[in-house]
Amino acid sequence: MISNISESKLLTLIGNLLYAVGVVLMVYSYRYNTKVMGLTAMGISTIAPNEGSAEWKRRERLRKVSDWLFYGGMVLTFIGVVAQTMGALIS
């Protein structure tokens, strides 16, 4: 089946998939970031947990996951856009 697909269509298809996965990762990044920020994201001032406490470590872990998802999503989105552009240029 793949042998019947032209190179330009294959690049466009791969680009679409990478773009979609990148956007989904960035949406999940926002979800994790909201868990980290909690009520602060709604504009309510809260007291930060004590540094080194279990809550502090949990929030740091969630923040790191959020950052990795966001930057990974950005990279995949960029690669997807480049692949789509290359597929359109060679068609």
- 62 domain-assigned: yes
Length of the chain: 91
- 75 domain-assigned: yes
Query: How many domains is the chain built from?
Result: 1
- 43 domain-assigned: no
Q: What integer pLDDT is reported at residue 51 of this predicted model?
A: 82
- 59 domain-assigned: yes
Q: Look at residues 16, 26, 23 and name the one whose alpha carbon lies nearest to residue 86.
A: 16
Greater confidence, 1 or 61? 61
- 45 domain-assigned: no
> Which pLDDT tens digit goes with each residue over 26-62?
998 988 888 777 766 666 666 777 788 888 888 888 8
Domain hosting residue 23, numbered range = 2-38+50-90
- 44 domain-assigned: no
pLDDT at 13 > cutoff 80? yes
- 77 domain-assigned: yes
* Residue/partner pairs of 24-30 with CB below 8 Å, 24 or more apart: 24/73, 25/69, 25/70, 25/72, 25/73, 25/76, 26/69, 26/70, 26/73, 26/74, 26/77, 28/69, 28/73, 29/66, 29/67, 29/69, 29/70, 29/73, 30/66
Find the mean pLDDT for residues 73-86. 94
